[in-house]
Amino acid sequence: MTEISDWIYRISRYRLIGSKCVECGEVAYPPRLTCYKCGGKMADYQLPRRGKILYYTVVKSLPERYNRYGAYPVAIVELEDGTRIFGLLTDVDNPEKGMEVEAVLRKLYTYGEHGKIIYGVKFRPVLG
């Protein structure tokens, strides 16, 4: 991501807005203009904020700006509408398959000490 694309994609990253194919109903996140399945037009689609962890792993080698704190748990999350998306996890020491999670706004990275702070969606265990 560059500083320009950080800005262009901020809304979909803040609010988990994907796209849905007007022809076949396929859902994509991040959003796309055309469907990768049928080539149909896609329209903005609000994904549900809650879901559960399908698969997870802990990534220990990432670019500096993502990886100041050693390791990042990441997961494939199945959202309440069945959409599966890739996401960063937070506030969790031991992720588990089936763990219920919700999307919240967190800091994703910063451009050094003086640059911008970039925010976006991460998943954390539901508070209740």
Partner 1 sequence: MKPGNDVGIYGYGAYIPRYFIENKIISSLWKRDAQPIQSKSFPNYDEDTITISYEAALRAIESSKAPIEKIGAIFIGSESKPYAVKPSGTVLVDALGLPRSILSADYEFACKAGTEAMQTVFGLVSSGMIEMGIAIGADTAQGRPGDELEYTAAAGGAAYIISRVDMGVLARLEASYSYVSDTPDFWRRSGEDYPRHLYRFTGEPAYFHHIMSSVKGLFEKYGYQPSDFAYAVFHQPNYKFPTRVAAKLGFTREQIKPGLVVPLVGNTYSGSSLLGLAATLDVAKPGDKILLASFGSGAGSDAMVFEVTELIEERRMVPPVSKMISRMSPGDYSTYALYRDMLKR
Which residues contribute to the site for Zn ion (CB under 5 A)?
Answer: 21, 23-24, 26, 35, 37-38, 40
Question: From the list Zn ion, partner 1, none, which binds 10 (C-beta under 5 to 8 Å, kind-based)?
Answer: partner 1
Could you tell me the smallest distance in angstroms from the CB atom of residue 114 to Zn ion? Answer: 44
Could you tell me the smallest distance in angstroms from the CB atom of residue 92 to partner 1? Answer: 9
Question: From the list partner 1, Zn ion, none, which binds 128 (C-beta under 5 to 8 Å, kind-based)?
Answer: partner 1
Residues that bind partner 1 in the complex, under the rule CB under 8 A:
10-11, 14-15, 68-69, 90-91, 93, 104-108, 117, 119, 122, 124, 127-128
CA angle in degrees (0–180, nearest 5) for 101-102-104: 135
Question: From the list Zn ion, partner 1, none, which binds 114 (C-beta under 5 to 8 Å, kind-based)?
Answer: none
- Amino acid identity of residue 77, one-letter, is V
Could you tell me the smallest distance in angstroms from the CB atom of residue 113 to partner 1? Answer: 10
